[in-house]
């Protein structure tokens, strides 16, 4: 009898989320205790600029995101019968959602390895594409499952929370830019000058950081809500 060596999709999801959370928490704790990261409240992208945390932040999150890229292909296969049953454009949207999430995952890997202080434009664009594509994919999957009679309260809350914090992050970013312009700085001052640990932080910058952390953990909560759909599914 041939032993099944394939990986359980549910376990891979748990690994992806667990590694992502562990990497973020470890980066914060190591950087904060070493005096390189602001205790309250750092923007995620400013944490891996120096010290030992810079050596594991990128690889840890890249592996986590790559694992989710693999899962996106599995989700596409799992959701195909549901999309076919619903008819209309659902099958095409399922294909589009897979492409979008795969592209977004690649952008996420770029984001965590090309840091804000060294590649501000590339980092910013890739991060925007990563967050936006994941929110769009999550929203599509949520609607697909809801229309198929598979509602999930945590999933719904996580997706609405993700969008809320995403919009607020953009709003507070715009307000901080206006504040900096009023103080005589250029339009792209914040993009070109990430905050350092000893810098005085405005209310808007703290709110941006809070919304970013909240949005990311909404992503993780939403991702874990798909465990049921991956039960007994192998890669």
DSSP string for 1-29: -----PPBHHHHHHHHHHHHHHHHHHHHH
Contact between residue 63 and residue 23 where contact means Cβ atoms under 8 Å apart: no
Can you name the residues that pair with 24 across neighbouring β-strands?
none
- pLDDT per residue of the chain (235 residues) written in tens, 0 to 9: 444 556 799 999 999 999 999 999 999 999 999 999 998 889 999 999 888 999 999 999 999 999 999 999 999 999 999 999 999 999 999 999 999 999 999 999 999 999 999 999 999 999 999 999 999 999 999 999 999 999 899 999 999 999 999 999 999 999 999 999 999 998 888 998 999 888 889 999 999 999 999 999 999 999 999 998 898 888 8
Q: Does residue 92 sit within a domain?
A: yes
Q: How many domains does the chain have?
A: 1
Structural domain including 180 reads 9-230
Q: What are phi and psi of 6, to 5 degrees?
A: -70, 160
Q: Does residue 18 sit within a domain?
A: yes
Q: Does residue 1 sit within a domain?
A: no
Q: Does residue 235 sit within a domain?
A: no
Q: What are phi and psi of 234, to 5 degrees?
A: -110, 150
Q: What are phi and psi of 8, to 5 degrees?
A: -70, 130
Q: Does residue 178 sit within a domain?
A: yes
Contact between residue 115 and residue 49 where contact means Cβ atoms under 8 Å apart: yes
């Amino acid at each position: 009898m041939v032993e099944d060596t394939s990986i359980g999709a549910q376990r891979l999801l748990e690994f992806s989320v667990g590694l992502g959370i562990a990497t973020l928490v470890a980066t914060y704790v190591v950087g904060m205790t070493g005096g390189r990261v602001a205790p309250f409240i750092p923007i995620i992208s400013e944490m891996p600029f120096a010290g030992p945390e810079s050596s594991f932040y990128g690889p840890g999150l890249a592996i986590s995101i790559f694992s989710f890229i693999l899962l996106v292909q599995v989700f596409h296969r799992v959701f195909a019968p549901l999309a076919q049953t619903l008819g209309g454009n659902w099958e095409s949207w399922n294909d589009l959602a897979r492409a979008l999430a795969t592209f977004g995952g690649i952008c996420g890997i770029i984001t965590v390895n090309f840091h804000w202080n060294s590649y501000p434009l590339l980092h910013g664009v890739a991060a925007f594409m990563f967050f936006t594509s994941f929110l769009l994919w999550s929203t599509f999957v949520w609607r697909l499952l809801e229309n198929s009679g598979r509602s999930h309260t945590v999933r719904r809350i996580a997706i609405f929370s993700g969008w809320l914090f995403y919009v607020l992050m953009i709003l507070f970013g715009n307000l901080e830019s206006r504040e900096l312009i009023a103080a005589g700085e250029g339009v792209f001052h914040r993009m070109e000058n990430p905050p350092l640990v000893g810098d005085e932080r405005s209310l808007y910058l703290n709110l941006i950081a809070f919304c970013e952390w909240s949005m990311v953990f909404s992503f993780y909560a939403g991702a874990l809500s798909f465990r049921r759909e991956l039960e007994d599914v192998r890669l």
